[in-house]
Amino acid sequence: MIRTQTQYAHSGDASIAYQVVGDGPVDLVLVTGPAAHLEVMWEDPATARTFERLAGFSRLVRFDRRGTGLSDAALSPPTLEQQMDDLRAVLDAVGVQKTAIWGASDLGLSALFAATYPERVTALVLSAVAPAGRSALDAELRNRLLDAIEGHWGDGSLLGVYAPSQLGNRSFEQFWGRLQRSAASPGMARALMAMLAQTDLRPVLPTIRVPTLVMHQSGDRYVPVEVGREVAALIPGARFAEYPGEDSYWWIDAPGLEDVEEFLTGRRAAAEPDRVLATVLFTDIVGSTEYASRVGDARWRGVLDEHNELVRGELRHWRGVEVKTIGDGFLATFDGPARAVQCAAEIIDSGRRLGLRLRAGVHTGECELLGDDVAGIAVHIGARVMANAGADEVLASSTVKDLVFGSGLRFRDRGLHALKGVPERWRLYALER
């Protein structure tokens, strides 16, 4: 993962925290909502991958607004004029003369800066935007929503509003609560949201003269997709793009990232190859039929749900990609064999805490990409390696064992094995723990 240093720009008497990553051909500044923190956001693997992808085609600049994150605290929400001063201070500190701006769950600062300083803005991207006019909600309902934000900020319960696709993902729920607590106090979060609801940008949007792309997810529960269309209609020449999904927090799957790259650089990312080198991991519960018979169907379903959540949590932690479940096991891929082996070991250890005995097989080879699935001889070998593993054992092919040399992982030779449907005999190795 990219590691970057937090630095500070001085805007009047305030210190504004910022980070710079990447060295691509365009400068890109992310302007995010109040639920943001320069360093905590890197803790979520999906968010980190999105930032890394952005840094692959840009010099990416991120900053914490005054009163949030690592920037100086504020007794009251900064005005839009102050926020523009802060953004300009960050650009000057980085040495950026002209930049593209991506406002994510932000309309006020991004739009106002683009309209006021067109000589410093090359393009404007807006995603999950708020309404341009004052909230159409009546005062009583608006206050109830603000009360909910203040009362539940940081406890993870607002995930259903901002990132409903992650409900039930315990790891992300914990990250979300920590992100909110680190980003702002409940009072500041409420004040920032209240200011947003009272800001009318309809006179500003028609004055924007830079190329603009407005993006929205069709199922967004926080802000309906019609709001995005209305914002795009108010900006001369703006392009509107709609994507499937329901999250206002844009960085989980980052829909439309290829469109953003093409919009900003004039080129589109190369198509994903249909064959790649990958490490495949197969897991399986040993003796699951006997266990289910012993505890009964209802209890077994509960244990299996806990097992699945546990496995998915470890996959996220070790940057694995779930391909599919197979019976009571998983097939996942990794871009590094050491992470796959370590993930397998953690899955087995966690399974023991549920009273389950698991086994795992790991192999590295060329895989064929079939949409969200994978195929090919490497996948077949991985399945056969797992089939030879014993309870509580991580079994690896000789390819994996050779590729992780120097990682500190140690293996015990388990001899030559005939893998069903695979030519020749394969030497397999058990992870020593």
Print pLDDT tens along the chain (433 aa).
455 789 999 999 999 999 999 999 999 999 998 889 999 999 888 898 899 999 999 999 999 999 999 999 988 888 889 999 999 999 999 999 999 999 998 888 999 999 999 999 999 999 988 777 655 445 655 676 777 778 888 887 778 878 888 887 777 888 999 999 999 998 888 888 777 767 788 889 999 999 999 999 988 877 788 989 999 999 999 999 999 888 889 998 788 999 999 999 998 765 555 778 899 999 999 998 888 888 888 888 889 999 999 999 999 999 999 999 988 899 999 998 999 999 999 999 999 988 899 999 999 998 888 777 888 889 999 999 999 999 999 999 999 999 998 889 999 999 999 988 777 889 999 999 8
In terms of pTM, does the model score above 0.75?
Answer: no
DSSP 8-state secondary structure symbol assigned to residue 303: H
Return the SS3 of 318: coil
CATH of 275-431, one of 3.30.70.1230, 3.40.50.620, 2.40.30.10, 3.40.50.150: 3.30.70.1230
End-to-end CA distance of the chain: 26
Domain with CATH 3.40.50.1820 in the chain: 7-265
pLDDT at 292: 83
pLDDT at 273: 56
pLDDT at 137: 46
Degrees to nearest 5, angle at CA 67 with 65 and 70: 70
Return the SS3 of 319: coil
Domain with CATH 3.30.70.1230 in the chain: 275-431
**Residues 362, 298: Cα–Cα separation, whole Å:** 32
Q: Is 81 exposed, middle or buried (0-12, 13-18, 19+ CB in 10 A)?
A: exposed
User: CB within 8 A of 312, min separation 6: which ones?
Assistant: 169, 322
**Residues 244, 252: Cα–Cα separation, whole Å:** 13
CATH of domain 7-265: 3.40.50.1820
